[in-house]
Amino acid sequence: MPSKVEGWKDEVYGTEIRDHLLQFAEAGWSSIPEDERDAWFERFKWWGLYHQRKGQESYFMMRIGTPNGRLTPEQLRVVGEIAKEYATGPVENPEFGDAYCDWTTRQSIQLHWIQLQDIPDIFEKLEAHDLSTIQACGDSWRNIVGSPVAGRDADEHLNAWPVIQELHEEFKGNDDFSNLPRKWKVSVTGDTRGSGQGDINDLAFEPAVKEIDGEEVKGFNTLVGGGLSRKEERFARDIDVFARPENVADVSAGISALFRDHGDREDRFNARIKFLVDEWGPEKLRSVLQEEYMEYELPTAGENLREQYNYNAGKADEPGDYIGVHEQNDGQYFVGLSVLVGRQSADDVIELADLAEAYGSEMIGLTQRQNLIVADIAEDDLDDFLDEPLLETYSPDPHPFMRGSIACTGTEYCSLSIVETKNRMVRYARWLKENVAVPGGVEDFHIHLSGCTASCAQPQIADISLRGMKTRKDGEPVEAFDIGLGGGLGENPQFADWVEMRVAADEVPGYIDNLLRVYESEREERVVPEEQRGRDGEAVERESFREFIARHEDDELTGMAEPEETSYEDPYLGNTKMTWYPYAEDTEMDAAPTPADD
């Protein structure tokens, strides 16, 4: 029997939700019939609106999908202005104030405390600047991810941006694909870095070359069924299909139609295509795709470029992100800026937009590491740009713990999360920076903190993975984390090994400190012969943290370091989920604001 959500979707779904949404916005919050609220909130997701958690009734999170994470400075300014005007809540966040933007791991934008009556104005402002919330959530094509610097990156196989634009145009607002069994996450990567992180997407196109009719053709290999949620992590599987850039839309249509028709609509926990790939295997999926959905003979896969991947790959000698100054293929530069946990105040967003425009930038990029890129800086302007005061906060050369820290939304707003996340990760990163010696040679260390098994902060693919948990301390329930080690992508992707379970949140920084001491003292090093030294002239080659973890068996990793209380203080150790808002003066549910209306 189809799930209840499927029943709601059968009644109203897709583009038609918008008219209802705008009518409700016009008539006010109380116009949504009480006995229809769950159904409408489920549907509103399709237009990028997620009703916030209990205690925050009538407030919404709004997600804006930016394909490939690309914005113009003007678009960035509009987002900042909308955040400043509309994303203000009843209580300030102690770290970030009262109006801010979240840059997400899927290169989208999230704003909080949005009220129903403001949505028409916000939509109008967004759409006047070619921005939209369409399909940012819900059961359909989500924001398409990839490299924001496609077409500019010197390390590029082919420019995937035109392909992503085509997919965005084709599959947003397309009634044939608007009601899928579950979310549909797509990645298209044309660079040699692996920055699209295709391995963890439902559908991924990764750079490849194939000889066809004696000619070497640049295109993509096709992978299906990746994802991280619910302790059911899967890497996307190679279905042995090569797609020329001009064929990607056809292959995408075929696979997403296959998912639409064959995905599980009875059990939402079994609905993602990763489970269909588990059940069928890649060979059957390919044959059904070929026989039922394609009008031409699909070529077999080409030769991939994975051995060159370095994005979030845990390499010792190459950065795994876009932070820093990089030369573009046109002689200009793009500069990657660190945004700790991906949250930036609206004022800073507007200031950055002005700055980018003043320097002639035509593109701002949101990365899957929750950071920002400002592109198109002329070589002559580079020093001045790097000296701008705003870059002291959003640094192109950050401390490794500030650089590599990612966090999801957490109990501040999210119904699923078990623990507080962003403010805690900020406090962790600051404490680590001030108290922990970074092992020599480590410039880029990835800590991903996720509030629950939904894995929005991609915890399984980090040097240190933190996943929200509970434990008891002195008999009282406290927020805690399961700790995993050694995950990452690259040529040979690897999920983290979960080695320490239910560590109280205030003992995690001490654990990381102890673990890094072990790593520094026990990692392997070798002297590099002079003739083999790279451009950096490094005389010693050190084992990366990920390599160090991979060298050890699970039972060696468990207990390798001890969790420990330190000078780190955790103000969120109690049950933040029981509050209406964790940072309010009076956090009791009874103190929650009454629903805003009309």
Partner 1 sequence: MPTSVHQLDDGAWLSVNDAREVNVSDLWWLARHDFCSCEMADFLAEGFVEIGVDHPNVEGRIAGQCIDCGESGVTDWLTLGRVVDPDSGRFYAVDTTSVHVPERRRRLARPPE
Residue with Cβ nearer partner 1 (68 or 229): 229
Q: How far apart are CB 419 and partner 1 at their closest, in Å?
A: 8
Two structure tokens written together for 248: 């990607």
Q: Report d(CA 89, CA 77) in Å as an integer.
A: 20
Provide the minimum distance between the beta carbon of 473 and partner 1 in the complex, in angstroms, as a whole number: 11
The DSSP annotation for 461-499 comes to: GSSEEEEEEEEEETTEEEEEEEEEE--B-SSS-BPPEEE
| Sign of the Cα pseudo-torsion (428, 431, 434, 436, in order) | negative
For partner 1, give the closer residue by CB, 253 or 418. 418
Q: Which residues contact 122 (CB under 8 A, 6 or more apart)?
A: 62, 82, 86, 114
Q: Which of 271, 294 has the CB closer to partner 1?
A: 271
Q: Which amino acid is at 473?
A: K
- Report, in Å, the least distance between residue 235 CB and partner 1: 21
**Least gap, CB of 590 to partner 1 (angstroms):** 15
Task: State the nearest-atom distance from the C-beta of 468 to partner 1, in Å.
Answer: 8
Residues that bind partner 1 (CB under 8 A): 4, 34-38, 41-42, 53-54, 230-231, 268-269, 411, 415-418, 452-454, 469-472, 477, 480, 501-502, 575, 577
**Nearest distance from residue 415's CB to partner 1, in Å?**
4
Are the C-beta atoms of residues 102 and 81 closer than 8 Å to each other?
A: no
* Shortest reach from residue 42's CB to partner 1, in Å: 8
Beta bridge partners of 217: 210
Residues found in the chain:
598
Q: How many CB atoms lie within 10 A of CB 1?
A: 8
Question: Closest approach of Cβ 341 to partner 1, in Å?
Answer: 20
- Between the alpha carbon of residue 90 and those of residues 34, 113, 347, 572, the distances in Å are 24, 8, 18, 19
Q: Please state, in angstroms and as integers, the Cα–Cα distance from residue 134 to each residue in 34, 119, 138, 376, 556, following that order.
A: 25, 13, 10, 29, 48
Minimum gap (Å) between residue 544 Cβ and partner 1 = 29
Maximal C-alpha separation, the chain = 75
Q: 31 or 300: whose CB is closer to partner 1?
A: 31
Helix (H) or strand (E) holding 430: helix 422-435
Nearer to partner 1, 472 or 533 (CB): 472
Nearest residue (CB) to partner 1, 71 versus 414: 414
- Closest CB to partner 1 among 230 and 551? 230
Residue 97 is classified by DSSP as: B
Dihedral pair phi/psi, residue 40, rounded to 5°: -70, -40
3-state SS class at 138? coil
Helix intervals (H) in 72-224: 73-86, 119-128, 161-171
**Nearer to partner 1 (CB atom), residue 484 or residue 488:** 484
Q: Which amino acid is it at 426?
A: V
For partner 1, the closer CB: 285 or 496: 496
Q: Enumerate residues 6+ apart whose C-beta is below 8 A from 448.
A: 405, 406, 407, 457, 458, 459, 461, 462, 464, 465, 466
* Closest CB 48 distance from partner 1, rounded Å: 15
Give whichever of 335 and 503 is closer to partner 1, judged by the CB atom. 503
Nearest distance from residue 449's CB to partner 1, in Å? 16
Measuring CA to CA, how many Å separate 301 from each of 208, 215, 222, 449, 521?
8, 15, 8, 35, 44
The smaller minimum CB distance to partner 1, of residues 53 and 210, is found at: 53
2 vs 97 by CB, closer to partner 1:
2
Write down the least CB distance from residue 228 to partner 1, Å: 14
CB atoms within 10 A of CB 319: 18
Q: What angle is formed at CA 30 by the lines to CA 27 and CA 36, rounded to 5 degrees?
A: 105
